């Protein structure tokens, strides 16, 4: 019997040497078959490295289209969609991951914001859904989110109730004045204060005046680094605990130019540096997602995690700012459920100085004192 001419040494699956030619593919590449395990393969494909589906997913979350992704993973859009969805469905929940990173949650102010987005999932005839998010004012970290068919009190109550059950301590909330949000807060956090975004606008205007017209701006620095003592009255024992150490305060006091430069940047770019930037990025990306029409939860969960873990221009992620210590954060660690690695940086290093000043500037930018 004629077995053909073997062009490889052994079967890549069972390592048998009983291999034969088995025709060609549609692209004219020779196919081989093992007479022992009966499996077939194309030698040219074996020579290509297996694609990293973590990198593929991150590229998709960052904004690349299926056409762009074909340069990373040579397959059809349907196959790429399937692989990304499988990867995202294997991820842990962002809220669970955040709880594992920080067993105790304390925020001086939480922004409650919502956004409609296109989605043909379920029986929604309007092809729209709604996401409610709770965002930490200091770090811009998404503390929790809830997806619903529309903006409703039930959606906000479900989100706030879950935050309460996770042990969050927060004396103040801020929203855009929605009655649905106010009613939910009265049910779940009846002893917390509530404000509308107009309060923040007034504070921003006052901060601009203090920055540009004050003769001595040292009081702004002192106000920022004394935020820890100020917020002890709100029973926030671990909030901005980094400024409990005198060495941290001295770094900020001795970096006046750096402090005011960064403060001015945040004032000038407030719509991108605060939660407004998150909402704008969410809308821009989710208007273009194709797979979201099947089930929005995995893609939203993955995108929020990716957004929280990617480095900011200062070199550290939003999660690092929330944890009040520099960490090495990666989306792949989130997928596996591995906690971020804390970086033990010297206090006199430029990276640590940048990190401390960023926390000080952000604490000054919170409109509730």
Range in 45-59, 205-219, 244-258 with the lowest mean pLDDT: 45-59
- Regarding whether 214 and 115 lie in a shared domain, the answer is yes
Instruction: Label residue 231 by pLDDT band (50, 70, 90).
Output: low
Q: State which of 74, 89, 104 marks the end of a domain.
A: 89
Q: What's the domain count of the chain?
A: 3
- Regarding whether 158 and 27 lie in a shared domain, the answer is no
- Regarding whether 102 and 61 lie in a shared domain, the answer is no
Please give the Cα distance from 305 to 95 (Å, whole number).
Answer: 9
pLDDT average, residue stretch 319-337: 94
Higher per-residue pLDDT: 223 or 94? 94
- Regarding whether 75 and 184 lie in a shared domain, the answer is no
* Short-list 97, 76, 96, 78, CA closest to 86: 78
Residue 306: the pLDDT is 95
Residue 44: the pLDDT is 65
Q: State which of 40, 62, 89 marks the end of a domain.
A: 89
- Regarding whether 314 and 233 lie in a shared domain, the answer is yes
Give 47-86 pLDDT, tens digit per residue: 556 667 888 888 888 888 777 777 777 777 778 888 888 8
- Regarding whether 101 and 85 lie in a shared domain, the answer is no
Q: What is the 3-state secondary structure (H, E, C) of the chain?
A: CCCCCCCCCCCCCCCCCCEEEEEECCCCCEEEEECCCCCEEEHHHHCCCCCCHHHHHHHHHHCCCHHHHCCCCCCCHHHHHHHHHHHHHCCCCHHHHHHHHCCCCECCCEEEEEEEEECCCCCCCCCEEEEEEEEECCCCCEEEEEEECCCCHHHHHHHHHHHHHCCCECCEEEECCCHHHHHHHHHHCCCCEEEEHHHHHHHHHHHHHHHHHCCCCHHHHHHHHCHHHHHHHHCCCCCCHHHHCHHHHHHHHCCHHHHHHHHHHHHHCHHHHCHHHHHHHHHHHHCCCCHHHCCHHHHHHHHHHHHHHCCCCCCCCHHHHHHCCCEECCHHHHHHCCCCEECCCCCCCHHHHHHHHHHHHHHHCCCCC
Please give the Cα distance from 362 to 199 (Å, whole number).
Answer: 17
Give 149-180 pLDDT, tens digit per residue: 889 999 999 999 999 999 998 999 999 888 99
Percent with pLDDT over 90 in the chain:
37
Does 318 score more than 80 pLDDT?
A: yes
- Regarding whether 363 and 230 lie in a shared domain, the answer is yes
- Regarding whether 206 and 336 lie in a shared domain, the answer is yes
- Regarding whether 1 and 77 lie in a shared domain, the answer is no
- Regarding whether 62 and 152 lie in a shared domain, the answer is no
Does 264 score more than 60 pLDDT?
A: yes
Hunting for tokens 């004219």 — which residue is that?
Answer: 28
Q: Which residues of 194-212 are buried (b: 16+ CB within 10 A; e: fewer)?
A: bbeeeebeebeeebeeeee
pTM over 0.85: no
Of the ranges 149-158, 218-227, 287-296, the best mean pLDDT one: 149-158
Instruction: Label residue 267 by pLDDT band (50, 70, 90).
Output: confident
Asked if 231 contacts 363 with a C-beta cutoff of 8 angstroms, the reply is: no
Does 294 score more than 80 pLDDT?
A: no
Residue 1: the pLDDT is 34
Give 102-141 pLDDT, tens digit per residue: 988 999 999 999 988 877 655 556 677 889 999 999 999 9
Does 182 score more than 70 pLDDT?
A: yes
- Regarding whether 61 and 44 lie in a shared domain, the answer is no
Asked if 145 contacts 159 with a C-beta cutoff of 8 angstroms, the reply is: yes
Hunting for tokens 């859009």 — which residue is that?
Answer: 77
Percent with pLDDT over 70 in the chain:
89
Residue 316: the pLDDT is 95
Of the ranges 62-66, 87-91, 221-225, the best mean pLDDT one: 87-91
**Token pair recorded at residue 293:** 């029409």
Domain region containing 290: 91-369
- Regarding whether 84 and 95 lie in a shared domain, the answer is no
Please give the Cα distance from 366 to 203 (Å, whole number).
Answer: 9
Give 307-317 pLDDT, tens digit per residue: 999 999 999 99
Asked if 353 contacts 258 with a C-beta cutoff of 8 angstroms, the reply is: yes
């Amino acid at each position: 019997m004629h077995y053909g001419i073997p062009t490889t040494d052994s079967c890549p699956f069972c390592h048998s040497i009983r291999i034969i030619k088995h025709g060609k593919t549609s692209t004219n590449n020779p196919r081989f078959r093992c007479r022992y395990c009966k499996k077939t393969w194309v030698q040219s494909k074996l020579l290509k490295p297996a694609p990293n589906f973590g990198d593929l997913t991150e590229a998709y979350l960052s904004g690349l289209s299926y056409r762009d992704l074909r340069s990373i993973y040579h397959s059809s859009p349907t196959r790429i969609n399937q692989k990304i969805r499988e990867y995202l469905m294997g991820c842990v929940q962002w809220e669970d991951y955040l709880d594992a990173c920080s067993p105790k949650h304390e925020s001086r102010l939480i922004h409650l914001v919502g956004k409609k987005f296109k989605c043909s999932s379920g029986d929604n005839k309007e092809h729209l859904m709604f996401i409610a998010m709770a965002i930490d004012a200091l770090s811009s970290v998404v503390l929790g989110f809830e997806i619903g068919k529309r903006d409703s009190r039930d959606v906000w109550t479900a989100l706030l109730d879950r935050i309460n059950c996770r042990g969050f301590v927060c004396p103040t909330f801020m929203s855009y004045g929605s009655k649905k949000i106010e009613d939910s807060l009265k049910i779940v956090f009846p002893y917390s204060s509530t404000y509308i975004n107009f309060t923040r606008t007034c504070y921003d205007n006052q901060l601009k005046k203090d920055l540009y017209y004050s003769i001595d701006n040292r009081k702004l620095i002192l106000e920022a680094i004394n935020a820890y003592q100020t917020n002890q009255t709100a029973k926030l024992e671990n909030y901005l605990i980094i400024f409990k150490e005198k060495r941290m305060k001295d770094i900020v006091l001795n970096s006046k130019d750096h402090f005011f430069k960064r403060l001015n940047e945040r004032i000038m770019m407030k719509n991108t540096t605060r939660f407004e930037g998150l909402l704008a990025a969410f809308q821009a990306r989710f208007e273009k997602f194709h797979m979201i029409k099947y089930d929005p939860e995995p893609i939203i969960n993955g995108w929020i995690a990716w957004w929280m873990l990617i480095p900011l221009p200062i070199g550290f992620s939003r999660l690092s700012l929330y944890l009040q210590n520099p960490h090495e954060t990666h989306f792949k660690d989130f997928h596996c459920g591995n906690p971020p690695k804390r970086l033990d940086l010297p206090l006199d290093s430029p990276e640590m100085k940048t990190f401390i000043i960023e926390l000080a500037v952000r604490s000054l930018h919170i409109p509730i004192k």
